Amino acid sequence: MSRNAKINALLLLLVAALAVLPVALGMGDGKEEPFAGADSQAESAITEIRPDYKPWFSPLYEPPSAEVESALFALQAALGAGVLAYYFGLRKGRRQGLAQSQGEPSPGRRSPGGQPPGEQS
């Protein structure tokens, strides 16, 4: 196993542990909403300190349940990731197309003789 593969496997195990350990150790037991987001935690802290506090704004749309809210958040994250992936793929494709149009071999490609670029015999 190469060094990069070992590092990737270790990072994958670390991420899995970070996701599973709080649930496995019962860190949210005894709470009404054990793994609530920062917004709801801040709201409960503010109302605990100042019960007469009135928010400046109200949400434009209030989802009917926490599951719908989570699904919309996941959809928003997926759309954002898709836009970023499209942008970076487009940039890479343009860079490769420009290199090919100028006669330069793209990085990692071999010349027609099977030699790496720049190593002609």
pTM to 2 decimals?
0.49
**Cα–Cα dist 7/79, whole Å:** 29
pLDDT of residue 27: 72
Which among 106, 110, 105 is positioned nearest to 121, based on CA atoms?
110
Instruction: Tell me the pLDDT tens digit for each residue of 8-60.
Output: 999 999 999 998 887 788 776 666 666 667 777 788 889 899 989 888 888 89
Say yes or no to pLDDT of 121 above 60: no
The residue type at 71: A
